[in-house]
Amino acid sequence: MEMSNEQIHDIASAAWNGYQYLQKLTVRERADLMYAIAEEIEALDEELINAAHRETALPLARLQGEKGRTVHQWRSYADALRTGVYADVRIDTGDGAAKSDIRKYNKGLGPVAVFGASNFPFAFSTAGGDTASAIAAGCSVVYKEHPAHPETSRIMEHAIKRGVAKFGAPDTVFDCVKGSSNSVGETLVLNPLIKAVAFTGSFRGGKALFDLGASRSEPVPVFAEMGSVNPILALPDYLNQHGETLAAQYVASLTLGVGQFCTNPGLFIAVKGSALTLLKEGLKKAISEIGESSMLHAGICKAFQENKTILSKQPDVELLGKGVNTQEDKAGAAIYLTSGAAFLANQHLREEVFGPVGLVVECSDTDEVYAVLASVPGQLTITFAATVVDIQQNSSLLTLAQEKCGRLLFGGMPTGVEVVYAMQHGGPFPATTDSRFTSVGPDAVKRFLRPVSFQNWPNQLLPQELQDDNPLKIARIVNTVYTPE
Amino acid sequence: MEMSNEQIHDIASAAWNGYQYLQKLTVRERADLMYAIAEEIEALDEELINAAHRETALPLARLQGEKGRTVHQWRSYADALRTGVYADVRIDTGDGAAKSDIRKYNKGLGPVAVFGASNFPFAFSTAGGDTASAIAAGCSVVYKEHPAHPETSRIMEHAIKRGVAKFGAPDTVFDCVKGSSNSVGETLVLNPLIKAVAFTGSFRGGKALFDLGASRSEPVPVFAEMGSVNPILALPDYLNQHGETLAAQYVASLTLGVGQFCTNPGLFIAVKGSALTLLKEGLKKAISEIGESSMLHAGICKAFQENKTILSKQPDVELLGKGVNTQEDKAGAAIYLTSGAAFLANQHLREEVFGPVGLVVECSDTDEVYAVLASVPGQLTITFAATVVDIQQNSSLLTLAQEKCGRLLFGGMPTGVEVVYAMQHGGPFPATTDSRFTSVGPDAVKRFLRPVSFQNWPNQLLPQELQDDNPLKIARIVNTVYTPE
């Protein structure tokens, strides 16, 4: 079903009313609303899991886990909201004369357009982190359904709406626009009542929305998380000590979920030598054991096959090893090999192949590792497969890596984005369109907030967040001093 | 002097080194650097004040005050920085198994291009709030000199550089590009090493920079504060009680600094009736006592005269009263009068006339006041000249006003932007290009920060902000609980 422009306009207008309703709720009340929605999502049964499994080919266990994660997002963002951390209250009481009484808190931006991701049908789609953080901010949500999983969306939509109704909020706080053509999303983003946009997906899709948001007569912020190649830097001392386990660990991360994660480590950078030679053998063996798998949808699989072919045909790129692949419509894992010099000379090698394909870049020395890292654009993550000695001997690599990404790992693999306060799921362009924000963890709420100051208002007319006796018991900065509830 | 593209490129490249230096400083060390700069600015003598007076025509007393404000900005932003509020640390220590140890803090975006404002030669120019907040964030600054006050800029530039040298920082942490053509600023903003832009000035200038920043192959955030008409809503009960004082207060604010403030109250909205008739008499009398004054520079005065003429010729606009004006090259204050209906029908009446000109909009009732307010775009401030009863009877106006501005005043006038934590100097487009940020108060630092997470790093390799024993004694959120130093 393609919605008409009028239908989209009507939904955006209704969302304005939903936003006005949410603005009148305190942070505590919004947290309660979020709990009501979380409860409805939690109560969903096999119908949801089976629909998502049918529509995305993701395994049942993964979907069960993702459902739990989604519920956790709603509850943990609500818990954070309750503390007042996103109201971010500052009160300066002045001196009753020249210095005014000024009080500031954060309010929502307005209705937010959320675009679902195909690779997280629960955690980054209808009821995902973008929707949860917008509602936390007091923004109503108009969700643009992802065409790859309409039935999953429908079940989630109804769960949200049941939660909204049980809390007693109007149904205008959340609604969906539907249609598979780009024009549905474009019409939504250009609607003057939409005040922010959140997107998770491809660079092409995210950048198009960013440009659209900036082109409006009233520009709006567009937070697009567009993935990256998430380099692994395997440094010499670590490689000598842990090369064998690293190979297995890398292949497991590369092929997890058929390589369909924004944090999939598509790039493996190391210095050549006997340790790397051994590791390459390990990679070859490990990847050969990976079976072929269905991807999220036919379009993604087709793009994967095409991009893999393009990569394989680049000069100075050879196949290091590959997994099973007998069927055209399934993805076969593969690892390619190139040199640092070839990588530096060919910008195609810096592009993400969405799926289970890695590229090992064999560098002549750590200076070339530096040059290779310097040549890649902004990333979500960079992982140091390194010992303390490696870092101490290559501190300039750590300095450079901080400029390039949102999350730095010491050991481990970047897949697995934990939903905690300290998570930064973001990074410099083109990983996202605004490196100042995250789309995972409670801090994701910040994207949709703006401060408003009240100067010299009588106490009884102030929002509760700003009143003298702190009725909501939230943390505030009062006369420059942090004041817990 | 017009700098060449090569000179600008060299300065941006050097700024990258300055930025790398600042990134290695702790929040405490950056605060010390800021104090060193503040001391040099404070030590400037009559040479600065006289140069600025010559170049801007601003009165000596005002300039002395603005100098003090500028020093206060550096010191109060540094004080805030020291508490750790902008490091915004979150630590989740995990469980040593499935849950990782993740720690997040804010780092600088990179070198920032700062554009000076003509109306604040100290507080929003070379050593102004944008420069101070960028340095606080650990960003080096390349300042684009305002061509209206080159000598003032030079004196300030040298003061900053002395402070930088005394602290022992390299001279690359702050430098200036010079030239009066737009291309100098454009070249700077398009330089790939510039990672953010701050601007205070006209809508045309700010919007052009915003578009330029978004057009880059790596888009960068551009925070432009572009002024507004700052409506005063004079509600019936207040008008009855305080009409007389309000007239004098309004004219004083409208003509303060020859009306050359971003928060100048260009729009006065009220319901017609006997109280408004009296107030109009008061306005007429008060404005007649205002002498003519030189504006900041000839270009601003010319634009003022032109825009005033355009306003005066709009249908259903009449002159209510005016001040002295005998000389073409000086600005004469004036107040015009129109009806709510005429205002709603003519979008020219919503445009800012930069200078001492106000427009009284006489509405038939408070519903029309609502419609008039709804028709204006985003504002820095909205002022309620209202009693508690007025607000209680017109709560929808307060709700609407919150959607329209960054700062809401209850009584008083919006001119006078206090440098405190609770200040929001910003607002929805077109008041600024991003309503989520402020350009006054320590929170201005937030514009130039982005979070980075460290996952599973050994304690000794972490930035001090994130280390276990909290060596900088800053406030942090540890395992979801706020932990003062």
Mutation site for A-interface testing, chosen from B82, B101, B392, B421 by largest number of A Cβ within 10 Å: B421
> A449, B455: Cβ pair inside 8 Å?
no
Closest CA to A352 of A264, A453, A413: A264
**A68 and A211 housed in the same domain:** yes
Does residue B485 register a pLDDT over 80? no
Does residue A291 register a pLDDT over 90? yes
Q: What is the mean pLDDT of residues B343-371?
A: 96
Q: What is the mean pLDDT of residues A88-114?
A: 96
Neighbours of A46 (CB within 10 A): 10
User: Given B410, B444, B459, which residue is the final one in a domain?
Assistant: B410
Chain mean pLDDT for chain B: 96
**A212 and A338 housed in the same domain:** no
Predicted confidence (pLDDT) per residue in B222-254, tens digit: 999 998 999 999 999 999 999 989 999 999 999
**B238 and B222 housed in the same domain:** no
Q: What is the mean pLDDT of residues A468-475?
A: 96
What's the farthest any 2 CA atoms get from each other in chain A? 80
**A442 and A355 housed in the same domain:** no
Predicted confidence (pLDDT) per residue in A182-231, tens digit: 999 999 999 999 999 999 999 999 999 999 999 999 999 999 999 899 99
**A365 and A322 housed in the same domain:** yes
Does residue B1 register a pLDDT over 80? no
Closest CA to A149 of A29, A247, A66, A242: A66
**B191 and B73 housed in the same domain:** yes
Q: Which residues numbered 231-290 in B keep a CB inside 8 Å of some CB on A?
A: none
Nearest chain A CA: its distance from B371 CA (Å): 17
- For residue A277, the domain's CATH number is 3.40.309.10
Q: Does residue B418 lie in a domain region?
A: no
The pLDDT value given to residue A72? 98
The pLDDT value given to residue A484? 80
Q: What is the mean pLDDT of residues A353-381?
A: 97
Residue B96 pLDDT class (50, 70, 90 cuts) = confident
Does residue A181 register a pLDDT over 90? no
Q: Does residue B423 lie in a domain region?
A: no
Q: Does residue A162 lie in a domain region?
A: yes
Does residue B439 register a pLDDT over 90? yes
The pLDDT value given to residue B98? 86
Identity of the residue in A210, A410, A460 whose CB atom sits nearest the CB atom of B458: A410
The pLDDT value given to residue A483? 86
Range of the domain at A326: 232-410
Predicted confidence (pLDDT) per residue in B43-72, tens digit: 999 999 999 999 999 999 999 999 999 999
User: Given B377, B410, B443, which residue is the final one in a domain?
Assistant: B410
**B450 and B338 housed in the same domain:** no
The token duo for A52 is: 């998502």
Predicted confidence (pLDDT) per residue in B125-140, tens digit: 999 999 999 999 999 9
The pLDDT value given to residue A1? 77
Q: Does A395 touch chain B (CB under 8 A)?
A: no
Q: Which residues numbered 371-390 in B keep a CB inside 8 Å of some CB on A?
A: 377-378, 388
Q: Does residue B421 lie in a domain region?
A: no
Q: Does residue B424 lie in a domain region?
A: no
Residue A5 pLDDT class (50, 70, 90 cuts) = very high
**B251 and B278 housed in the same domain:** yes
Predicted confidence (pLDDT) per residue in A115-172, tens digit: 999 999 999 999 999 999 999 999 999 999 999 999 999 999 999 999 999 999 999 9
β-strand partners of A105: A452
| Cis? peptide before A414, omega within 30° of 0 | no
Which residues in chain A are contacts of B430 at CB distance < 8 A?
218
Cβ burial, residue B377 (10 Å; 0-12/13-18/19+)? middle
Chain mean pLDDT for chain A: 96
| Conformational region of residue B68, where left means phi above 0, alpha means psi within -120 to 50, and beta covers everything else | alpha
- For residue A106, the domain's CATH number is 3.40.605.10
Q: Does residue A459 lie in a domain region?
A: yes
> CA A252, CA A265: separation in Å to the nearest integer?
10
**A448 and A465 housed in the same domain:** yes
**B442 and B404 housed in the same domain:** no
**B375 and B356 housed in the same domain:** yes
The pLDDT value given to residue A328? 86
Does residue A394 register a pLDDT over 90? yes
Neighbours of A188 (CB within 10 A): 29
Domain count, chain B: 2
Q: Does residue A429 lie in a domain region?
A: no
Residue B181 pLDDT class (50, 70, 90 cuts) = confident
The pLDDT value given to residue A288? 97
Does residue A247 register a pLDDT over 80? yes
> B23, A210: Cβ pair inside 8 Å?
no
User: Given A375, A394, A410, which residue is the final one in a domain?
Assistant: A410
The pLDDT value given to residue B205? 96
Q: Does residue B100 lie in a domain region?
A: yes
**A247 and A215 housed in the same domain:** no
